[in-house]
Amino acid sequence: MRGIWFVRHGATDWNRDHRLQGQTDIALSAEGVAQAAALAAALADCPVASIVCSDLQRAVQTAWPIARAHGIEPALTHDLREVCLGDWEGLTPDDIRERWGEAVLSAYQGDPTTNPPPGAEDRSAIEQRVSRAVAAVLEGLTDGVHLVVGHGGTLRTAVCCAIGAPPELARRMWLDNASITRVDFGGRLPRLVSLNDTSHLVLTRRASE
């Protein structure tokens, strides 16, 4: 087996409240901690060879239970941080509607690349840093599973980088909290073999119901 598995961080209180997080350094909620434990259990028998992780604490807190189970240390990088959302970080859609108007919010939701929030990170800068992070993982690719732990926005771009797809495809993907997306490198071309797998979270979902 030779692959890169992309893991989105567990849930936070801001996820629950539908607040835009961006690069604001929010910790996991109790639900997120349980999801991180479920991830570690699900990956306990996988041949995890390395873990590279965003340096924001919600990603680090997700990576460490997996890392401890395999006796390795996550490599932290700024390049995998979530997209900076400028003036909108910490706000809910209702907050944005009230301050900027429905038309501005709708334009962003329809095409965030063309209609970014005020003060947000430039799209080309996002793609450059994410592609740099993926290239570093590919350079050191060996047999086993190499985990990339991060955030919904940047991980979708990272998946596109890994399979050689245009970055625009990222807008057509969705990654849930604590999901696993698998890319296999065992053949001539990288293959996306699963997207947004959350089957390992069944017990945590039942516990919260």
> Based on the domain organization, do 168 and 199 belong to the same domain?
yes
133 and 93 together in one domain: no
Q: pTM value?
A: 0.95
Q: Tell the residue number behind the tokens 């259990």, with chain if given.
A: 41
At residue 209, the 3 state secondary structure works out as coil
9 is catalytic: yes
Do the bridges between strand 75-77 and strand 191-197 make them parallel or antiparallel, or are there none, so unpaired?
unpaired
70/144 same-domain check: yes
Please check whether residues 33 and 116 belong to one and the same domain.
no
Task: Provide the residue range defining the domain that includes 110.
Answer: 86-120
93 shares its domain with 188: no
Out of 9, 70, 146, 151, which one is annotated catalytic? 9
Compute the distance between CA of residue 55 and CA of residue 154 in angstroms, rounded to an integer.
13
Same domain, yes or no: 80 and 138: yes
Q: Pick the last residue of a domain from 96, 120, 144.
A: 120
- Residue 96 and residue 59 in one domain: no
> Could you give the CA distance from residue 31 to residue 200 in angstroms, rounded to a whole number?
14
pLDDT in tens, the chain (209 residues): 899 999 999 999 999 999 999 999 999 999 999 999 999 999 999 999 999 999 999 999 999 999 999 999 999 999 999 999 999 999 999 999 999 999 999 999 988 888 999 999 999 999 999 999 999 999 999 999 999 999 999 999 999 999 999 988 999 999 999 999 999 998 889 999 999 999 999 866 645 54
The active-site residue out of 31, 82, 89, 121 is 82
Same domain, 156 and 197: yes
82 given a catalytic annotation: yes
Residues 48 and 127 grouped into a single domain: yes
Nearest alpha carbon to residue 162 among 131, 139, 188: 131
Count each helix (H run) and each strand (E run) in the chain, helices first: 8, 6
